[in-house]
Structures are given as structure tokens and as C-alpha cells.
Amino acid sequence: MKKFTKIICLLLCLCILFSALISCGRSDDKNGSNNGESNGSNSSHSEYTNLTFKSTLSYDYLKGLDGKGVTINGYLATSSPVDGSFIFLMNMPYQSCPFCVPNTTELSNTIEVYPKSGQKFSYTASAVKVTGTLAVAPQGQPYTDPYGYTFSFKIVDASYEILTSDDMGANFGVWEKFSQSGVIDELYKMYDYVDFVCKWNEYFVNSYTDKDGNKQPGYYLWASDAKNYLEKGNMKYGTDENYFKNLIEKVEAIDKDAFSDLVENIKDAEVLAKKAYAKLYAGEYTYEYKYVEKFGNYDNIYTITGGDELKSELDQIFKGFQEWLGSWEL
């Protein structure tokens, strides 16, 4: 099955993770350059707008800053390309793969940052302050990088300087503890599950060549396929009776008060997942036999009854998660 977000992200990361790891090393100077590498300067801008990860969720806000100087604090993902052509900037330390919106390659709470022409970035595990120029893609025409990730904006002509402990906020300790716990990966996995039960009819198996060398056409999942994934396959983990309860306990074990908003978000996701799951098993869907241009064949195409409402509710809950995650700033 090709459209599971974690599988996509994992495959993309594995292609570059090894080389990124062997290149890791703390820079000797303040802007993170060494061995003749330079991150440049941005003297062309007289003023800079301080971005936050939360503010980057608003396309209209970003569009108003297109072409202007910006700054933002964050960490380099370890899978940032070893050639220094750009970096994945995140607001959490210890992350390897960039975050993605479930079931897509669209970056989430991850910013691609590009140096000046002819220059490159060196890797650092330290927190950094990025300074550069904001570039925003036209609506509906996102940028795409060599690894297939898509994104509506990026920072170009950029440099960075390493931050010190004095630059960190008062909540840095609890945020670092959360980052080290690995819970963030489980949260994205949870959203993969919720996305699947709300939109199983949009998932598909790609065209493939069988063991006899014959090309088999791809297909969108039928209701029976979705049930199989939930009962025996890749999505079975989310059907455990205590799945959401156990995830909440892991979050609260880090800091119950600090993460109360996150717990409420998980509870909302659980309610939605159970509603969508019940629809599937109650047979609340229809199907139509028609030609599918994507695969070049005729097949039954399913529609979930009330599916648009499920997707709208999912979008709002996931946006709440993005805003919560983006609100943690250095």
C-alpha cells in the first residue's frame, strides 16, 4: 500500500539518513560553517520579521511577507541533505525525518531552508536562528524538493547562527523531555490511523508487476480491503481497545499540566476515529462501477456516507494538533 504517510517519509529519509548521520558535526564558528563553507549574510534587508512555526500555518500571513526578510529559531533534522544544499528546520530537537500531513508528502511543522547561491550549510545538532528571505509559492502550486516533499513556502538566501542556553525559553526543559520521549512519532502514527478510518476509500494500491512479470492495475480500496487493514493489516494497532488511553498516559507521564491541550486533541481524535470506524462496519457507504483514469481500468469506487463531514472534522482536529505543536518555540 503506497499512500501511508509514515512509509513514504521513512523511505525518503532512509535514502539520505545514513549520509546525513556520518556528516554530523558541530560547527566551529557561530554561523555553523567550517572547512571554507559560508552561510552568508542578509544585509539587503533592513528589517526582519520574526516567524514562529505556528504563524507559518497561515498562508495569507505568509503571502504578505513574500520576498521579505524573516528570522526563525529551530533545529536541523538529521536527515537534512549531506551536501548542504538545504536543511529541514523543525521546532523540536532529535528528529530524523521531517513531519508530514497524514497520507501525503506535504511537510508539516517542518521548513525547508536554502543558503545563498554557491554556498552550502554544514550540520549542527544545536538550536539555531535562521535569517533569510521568505519565498511563498502560488496558491495550489506548491514547491517540490528532490525527495518528493511538497511545501507552500521556504526560506532562501539564508544563514544561521547557533543559539546558546540563554536564548532558550523557560519551558525548554519540558519540551526537550517531550522531544526525547519519542511520543511525537506515536502521535503522527495515531493521525495516520485516524486519517485511514475517515478516508479509507481514498487509499489505493499502486499498479505493480506480479511474480510472472505481468503488470497488474492499481485500485482504490474497497470496504472489504479497509476492514482487512483494520483487522489484520497495517492499521490494526489503532483498533486496540486501550490504544488512545495508553497514548494519553504516555503524554501525561511527561507533564500532565503542560500537555493538557494535547490530551484534549487526542480525545477529539479518538471520538472521530470511533465514529468513522462505526460507519464502515455499519455499511454506511455506496459504490459505483466506473472507469478510473489513474489506473486505466474499470472498478468499484466507494463513497463514504457523510465522508466530507468526516474529512472536515479531521482537518480541524489535525490543524489543532499542528497549532499546538507549532506553539512550542525556542
Cell 490504544, residue? Answer: 243
pLDDT at 277: 98
Q: How many CB atoms lie within 10 A of CB 170?
A: 6
- The burial class, CB within 10 Å (0-12 / 13-18 / 19+), for 110 is buried
pLDDT at 329: 82
Cα(267)–Cα(243) distance, integer angstroms: 11
Q: Choose among 233, 131, 243, 150: nearest CA to 191.
A: 243
Contact indicator for 91, 53 with CB cutoff of 8 Å: yes
Long-range contacts made by residues 41-47, C-beta under 8 angstroms, separation at least 24? 41/159, 42/69, 42/131, 42/132, 42/133, 42/157, 42/158, 42/159, 44/69, 45/69, 45/133
pTM of the model: 0.83
* pLDDT per residue of the chain (330 residues) written in tens, 0 to 9: 544 444 444 444 444 443 433 333 333 333 333 333 434 444 455 689 999 999 999 999 999 999 999 999 999 999 999 999 999 999 999 898 899 999 999 999 999 999 999 999 999 999 999 999 999 999 999 999 999 999 999 999 999 999 987 777 667 788 889 999 999 999 999 999 999 999 999 999 999 888 889 988 899 999 999 999 999 999 999 999 999 999 999 999 999 999 999 999 999 999 999 999 999 999 999 999 999 999 999 999 999 999 999 999 999 999 999 999 999 887
Q: Choose among 53, 321, 51: nearest CA to 188.
A: 321
